[in-house]
Amino acid sequence: MSVSAVALKAMSLPEFGEPTVMPLVPRATHEARIAALVARGSRAGFDAFVVYGDREHAANVAYLSGYDPRFEETLLVVVPGREPKLLVGNEGWGYAEICDGPYKRVLYQTFSLPAQPRDRSDALPDILAGCGLKAGQKIGAIGWKPFGAGDAGFGETALDLPSFIADTLRALAGDKGAVLNAADLLMNPADGLRAINEADQLAAFEFAATFSSQGLRNVLKSIEPGMSELQAARLMGINGLPLCCHPMLSAGRRASYGLPSPRLDIIKRGDPITMAYGIQGSLNARAGFLAESAADLPPAIRDYVEKLVAPYFSAVVDWYETVGIGVAGGDLWKVVHDRIGDPFFGVTLNPGHLVHIDEWMHSPVFSGSQVKLQSGMALQVDIIPATGTDYFTTNIEDGIALADEALREEIAALYPEAWHRIEARRAFMVDVLGIRLKSEVLPFSNIPAFLPPYWLSRNTAMAVERR
């Protein structure tokens, strides 16, 4: 890498704007996705699929059907040659109609909340048999987690479905059939169907990321000492779009844990602080100190920028300048660990992963990974140093997409407003921050690689200085 140095720089973060057009994935795309699953499943020897979802694990069923369960569980049953069936409870019945997916609704009231009526639906074995499941079939069960080589003791028969569903499926398949975990068909980072996104889906992710990143930008712009964490979190302007995780904001002692939700704790000048906001299709996070300069920090860590933030930002720059179509995930892992692999930085999780309706779908970024990044992938810059020291942490988490020329032209033609934001973000990253992006890298964040270590110095952030 040719980064000569990184340093704090006074800058003006442009206004990239918020969407006035909401991209939607059409029903025809969901039909094509189900057809692709059937075709791929046939090659793998599957006779049918059962896709499970609930509020926390909605992504796979939503990807295929457009239905994201709210209060209840759901099952999407896909049998070649038959209309897909979507099993829903009492409250999902009406909502599934408005979602207008390529399925026929089936009422299964056991999916309803406790004590709600159970008097109008058949037993689960009868419903599934009516959907076309039967003895001797190889049934692909898709929950939300594929099990890999590192999951000791678990193989393809390990299911992450509730036991009352898994037991029923196994009984239906019988001794001559099998119920196998088929989540990899959707989620494998190399060739899973969800790893590669259509233009409409990427535009929907950009839509989500614009709002979540703008929420953090609002906090950085207006947070003040003396606010409570809840007051600061209100600045995010959470607008009701479905979340992919709980909003996070914490300061002081709790901040080093990263995940806490805000409380009424008062944020003081000099406090460490972290925040994250994730909408389905995006997550953005930042961390630093509620300070104006190093003078607001304890004397022992006044070299915070030199010791932690500068090498971290250099690693982020290397990540951005390396990522691209055809790059192996292991190469991204290496450029980060070449910079901040020292145990002090505490980078243990994957420095980057695929983002989808769920915040972390899977990751091609790990040591030695030969998984090649492809056009259509949506990725999240997600490099988390957990120092475990008074230096706390620093953090950039933002979403990008990779798009070849044809996909870029399609996005620009279908979604000119989003494309204008993408081009403006690229210009800021290149011209102001000094990060040299490949043409296929499309930033989705309204704070693209913007890293202010001191949140009260609002127009000062890290940038590259080159020879």
Q: Which domains does the chain have, with CATH numbers?
A: 6-22+198-464 (3.90.230.10), 27-187 (3.40.350.10)
Q: What is the pLDDT of residue 1?
A: 44
**Chain CA centroid to CA 91, Å:** 27
Q: What is the pLDDT of residue 467?
A: 65
Q: Strand pairing partners for 60? A: none
Residue 198 in this model has a pLDDT that exceeds 50: yes
270 contacts 201 by C-beta, under 8 angstroms: no
Q: Please, where are the H alpha helices in 223-325?
A: 229-234, 304, 310-322
What would the pLDDT profile of 11-53 be if each residue is shown by its tens digit? 999 999 999 999 999 999 999 999 999 999 999 999 999 999 9
| C-alpha to C-alpha distance for 333 and 349, rounded to whole angstroms | 10
What would the pLDDT profile of 316-372 be if each residue is shown by its tens digit? 999 999 999 999 999 999 999 999 999 999 999 999 999 999 999 999 999 999 999
Tokens linked to 98? 């408005």
Q: What is the pLDDT of residue 202?
A: 98
| C-alpha to C-alpha distance for 34 and 156, rounded to whole angstroms | 22
154 contacts 147 by C-beta, under 8 angstroms: yes
| C-alpha to C-alpha distance for 267 and 434, rounded to whole angstroms | 33
Strands 5-10 and 104-107: unpaired
Strands 85-88 and 104-107: parallel
What would the pLDDT profile of 380-409 be if each residue is shown by its tens digit? 999 999 999 999 999 999 999 999 999 999
* Mean pLDDT value of segment 202-211: 98
What would the pLDDT profile of 77-129 be if each residue is shown by its tens digit? 999 999 999 999 999 999 999 999 999 999 999 999 999 999 999 999 999 99
446 contacts 414 by C-beta, under 8 angstroms: no
SS (H, E, C) 126-188: HHHHHHCCCCCCEEEEECCCCCCCCCCCCCCCCCCCCHHHHHHHHHHHCCCCEEEECCHHHHC
Residue 433 in this model has a pLDDT that exceeds 70: yes
Residue 418 in this model has a pLDDT that exceeds 80: yes
Residue 152 in this model has a pLDDT that exceeds 90: no
Three-state secondary-structure class, residue 392: coil
Q: Which helix (H) or strand (E) holds 463?
A: strand 460-465
Q: What is the pLDDT of residue 11?
A: 97
| C-alpha to C-alpha distance for 287 and 185, rounded to whole angstroms | 35
Q: Where is pLDDT greater, at 2 or 89?
A: 89
Mean pLDDT (the chain) is 97
Q: What is the pLDDT of residue 466?
A: 76
